[in-house]
Amino acid sequence: MLWIFPPLDGDAQPQSRDKNNTDIVLGMSAAFTGPSRSLGIELYRGASAYFQKVNAQGGVHGRRIRIKAYDDGYDPGPALENTIRLVNDDQVFALFGYVGTPTTTRILPLLEKHRDKPLLLFFPMTGAQPLREPPYRKSIFNLRASYFQETRRLVEGFLSIGRERIAVLYQADAYGRNGWAGVRRTLREYNLDIVGEATYRRGVTAQADMGEQVRLLRDANPDAVITVGAAPACAAFIRQARQQGWEVPIANLSFTHAQQMAKCLLEVKKGLAPEELTQNLLNAHVVPSLHDTRIPAVREYRQVMDAAQISLPRTAQSTLYTPHRYDYVSFEGFLNAKLLVQMLRRTTPPLTPQRVRQSIYTQRRYTIDIGLPLFFGPEYNQGLDIIFFSTLRNDHIEPLRNWDAFAP
Amino acid sequence: MIVSRLFKKTLLVMVLLFGFLAAAISLFSAWSLYSHLRSEYESKALAIAESMSQSSAETFVNNQATRVQSLINKFLDVEGVAYAFATTEHGEVIAHTFVPAFPETFRTWLPQKFPQQQFGTKPQTANVELQDRGRFLHIAAPMLAGSAGSLHIGMSLGHINTLIWKAIARIQIITFGVFLVAVAVAYFWVNRIAHPLMALSRYSRQLADHNFDADVDIRSTDEIGELAATMREMAGQLRDHFQQLEEQITIRREAEEALAAEKELLAVTMRSIGDGVIAADTGGQVVLMNKVAEHLTGWSQEEGMRQQVDTVFRLVGIADGQAVDCPAQKALESGGIYELDDNVQLRQRSGQCIDIGDSAAPIRDHQGVIIGAVIVFRDIREEKRRELEHLRAEKLESLGVLAGGIAHDFNNILTAILNNITLARLNQEIPLSATNKLQDAERATLRAKKLTQQLLTFSQGGLPVTQCANVEDILQDAVAFALRGSNITYELSLPQDLWPVEVDTGQIAQVFDNLTINALQAMPEGGLLQIWAENVAPPRGAGSERDTTQKGFVRLYFRDQGCGISEQDQAHIFDPYFTTKPEGSGLGLSSVFSIIKRHGGSVDVHSELGRGTTFTMYLPAANGRPACPSGFEERSVSGSGRVLVMDDEHEVREVLGESLEYLGYEPHFAANGEQVLKRYTEHLQAGRAFDAVIMDLTVPGGMGGKETIRHLCAIDPEVRAIVSSGYSQDPVMARYREYGFCEVLMKPYTLDEVGEKLRAVLHN
Over residues B73-95, the pLDDT tens digits come to 888 888 888 899 988 888 888 89
The more confidently predicted of residues B187 and B257 is B257
**CA of B170 vs chain A CAs: smallest distance (Å):** 32
Contact A172 B73 (CB under 8 A): yes
Question: Helix, strand, coil proportions of chain A in percent (round to 5)?
Answer: 45, 15, 40
Examine the predicted complex and report whether its ipTM is higher than 0.90: no
Mean confidence (pLDDT) of chain B: 82
Q: What percent of chain B stands above pLDDT 90?
A: 6
Look at residue B508 in the predicted model and tell me its pLDDT. Answer: 86
Of B66, B94, B95, the CB nearest to A129: B66
Q: Select from B66, B68, B107 the residue whose CB has the most chain A CBs within 10 Å, as the one to mutate to test that interface.
A: B66
Query: What is the distance between the alpha carbons of residues B712 and B673, in angstroms, rounded to a whole number?
Result: 10
Say which residue, A93 or B40, is predicted with more confidence.
Answer: A93
Q: Which runs of consecutive H residues, i.e. helices, occur in A65-200?
A: 76-88, 101-113, 147-160, 174-189
Q: What pLDDT does residue B131 have?
A: 82
B587 pLDDT more than 80: no
What's the rounded mean pLDDT across residues B246-270?
89
Does the distance separating the beta carbons of A174 and B69 come in below 8 Å?
yes
Question: How many angstroms away from the CA of B102 is the closest CA of chain A?
Answer: 8
- Which of B64, B73, B102 is the closest to A173 by Cβ? B73
Q: In this predicted model, which residue has the larger pLDDT, B733 or B755? A: B755
Which among B70, B75, B102 is the top mutation candidate for probing chain A, defined by the most A β-carbons within 10 Å of its own β-carbon? Answer: B70
Q: Is the pLDDT of residue B24 over 80?
A: yes
For residue B675, give the H/E element and its range. helix B673-685
Q: Given an 8 Å threshold on Cβ–Cβ distance, is A212 in contact with B100?
A: yes
Does residue A322 contact residue A42 with C-beta atoms inside 8 Å? no
Residue A17: per-residue pLDDT: 40
Q: CB distance A177–B66 less than 8 Å?
A: yes
Q: What is the pLDDT of residue B549?
A: 53
φ, ψ (nearest 5 deg) of residue B523: -120, 70
Which residue of chain B has the CA closest to A104?
B70
The per-residue pLDDT for A2 is 42
Contact B65 A105 (CB under 8 A): no
CB A169 within 8 A of CB A217: yes
Report the residue from B65, B96, B98 with minimal CB separation from A181.
Answer: B65
Alpha-carbon distances, residue B106 vs A167, B92, B103, B116, B268 (angstroms):
20, 11, 6, 14, 116
Instruction: Give the containing element (helix H, strand E) for A362.
Output: helix A353-363
Q: Which residue has the higher pLDDT, B310 or A302?
A: A302
Which of B65, B96, B99 has the CB atom closest to A200's CB atom?
B99
Closest residue to B99, CB basis, from A105, A172, A175: A172
| Integer Rg of chain A from CA | 21
- The per-residue pLDDT for B176 is 86
Across the interface, whether the CB atoms of A176 and B69 are under 8 A apart is answered: yes
Report the gap between the CA of B107 and the closest CA in chain A (Å). 15
Residue B278 has pLDDT above 80, yes or no: yes
Residue in chain B lying closest to A168 (CA) = B101
How much is the pLDDT for B119?
Answer: 65
User: If interface means Cβ-Cβ distance under 8 Å, which residues of chain A face chain B?
Assistant: 76-77, 101-102, 105-106, 128-130, 133, 172-178, 180-181, 197-201, 212-213, 216
Residues of A in contact with B96 (CB under 8 A): 172, 199
Mean pLDDT of B137-160: 84
d(CA B749, CA B726): 10
Q: What is the mean pLDDT of residues B208-229?
A: 81
pTM score of the predicted model: 0.52
Q: Which residues of B touch A (CB under 8 A)?
A: 64-70, 73-74, 77, 94-102
Name which of B70, B77, B98 is nearest A102 (Cβ-Cβ): B70
Contacts of B58 in chain A (CB under 8 A): none
Residue A15 is predicted with a pLDDT of 40
List, edge to edge, every strand of the sheet that includes B642-646.
B666-670, B642-646, B692-696, B721-725, B743-746
Minimal Cα–Cα distance from A68 to chain B, Å?
26
Cross-chain residue pair A178–B68, CB shorter than 8 Å: no
Q: What is the pLDDT along chain A (408 residues), one digit of tens a residue?
A: 344 444 344 443 434 344 455 889 999 999 998 888 999 999 999 999 999 999 999 999 999 999 999 999 999 899 999 999 999 999 999 999 999 998 998 899 899 899 888 899 999 999 998 899 888 889 999 999 999 999 999 999 999 999 999 999 999 988 999 999 999 999 999 999 999 999 999 888 888 899 999 999 999 999 999 999 999 999 999 999 999 999 999 999 999 989 889 988 888 767 778 888 888 999 999 999 988 889 999 999 999 999 988 888 777 777 778 888 899 999 999 999 999 999 999 999 889 999 999 999 999 999 999 888 999 998 899 999 999 999 988 778 889 888 888 888
Q: Detail the DSSP E strand segments found in B504-637.
A: 527-536, 553-559, 602-608, 612-620
Alpha helices in A161-292 (DSSP H): 174-189, 211-219, 231-243, 258-266, 274-277
* Nearest chain A residue to B77, by CA: A77
